[in-house]
Structure 1
Amino acid sequence: MADSLSPECTPLKQQYDSCFNLWFEGYLEPAILPSAPDPQRTQRKAEEFQEKCGKVYAEYQKCIQSAVKRKGIESLLQQAREEHPLREPLPPTTPPSKESK
């Protein structure tokens, strides 16, 4: 695992990375196990993430935000967000049918 933006945040980053990786492994489990789809699973997994990793994630984010301010790079981050805003993913495309070729 890589170090954080600021050395004092690295222990929190490592805690969060470990927590996330364990949670994500469980999140992916149904993808490899045959089972019926469960529409409430996503909500339960989101709640589980908050319960298990939410506190350390919030602490890590607070540390990073403080480091960004100390390093004076807030304006650079804002500029990057304006130039390249996060967008909704494009819907999946369907492959062309054999008849349309």
Structure 2
Amino acid sequence: MAHSLSPECTPLKHEYDSCFNAWFEGYLEPALSASAASEERRAYSKRKAEEYENTCGKIWVKYRDCVQKAVKDRGLDDLLNQARQENPLKEPPPPPMKEATS
């Protein structure tokens, strides 16, 4: 696993990476084994999102806060804000509409 932006954040990064990788492997396994109906898939995704929040969410917040502090301490926050203004993220296009079948 790679190091974080700041050495004090690296242990949190490793903890989060391990948590996320274990969660994501469990998330993908049923999705790959069978193609579920849309409603079933939504319910499954909702359960997995709740599971993520319960297992990895707090670790993510700690790691994110540590990195944000490191960014600010290094004076990179102004550069990031400038980059965001020059190249803002755009909303993805809506999914294509399904054609009605008779």
With the length of structure 1 as denominator, give the TM-score of the two structures. Answer: 0.82
**Where in structure 1 are there 5+ consecutive unaligned residues?**
94-101
Match of 2:14 in 1: 14
Matched residue, 1:45: 48
Tell me the secondary structure at the aligned position of residue 89 of structure 1: coil
Instruction: Return the offset for 1:35.
Output: 5.2
Q: How is 1:80-99 mapped onto 2 (pairs within 5 angstroms)?
A: 80-91=83-94
List aligned pairs for 1:52-71, cutoff 5 A.
52-71=55-74
One-letter code aligned to 2:83:
A
Bigger relative contact order (CA 8 A; separation at least 6): 2
State the Cα distance separating 1:31 from its structure 2 match.
2.5
Matched residue of 2:34: which SS?
coil
4+ residue runs of structure 1 moved beyond 4 angstroms? none
Identity across matched positions, percent: 60
Please give the secondary structure, in 2, of the residue aligned with 1:40: helix
Match of 2:24, as an amino acid?
F
Equivalent AA in structure 2 for residue 24 of structure 1: F
Could you list the runs of 5+ residues in structure 2 that have no partner in the other structure? 97-102
CA-atom RMSD, angstroms? 1.6
Q: Which residue of 2 aligns with 1:4?
A: 4
Per the TM alignment, residue 34 of structure 1 is displaced from its structure 2 partner at its CA by 1.8
**Structure 2 letter corresponding to 1:47:** E
Aligned to 2:24: 24
TM-score by length of 2: 0.81
Q: CA deviation at 1:14?
A: 0.5
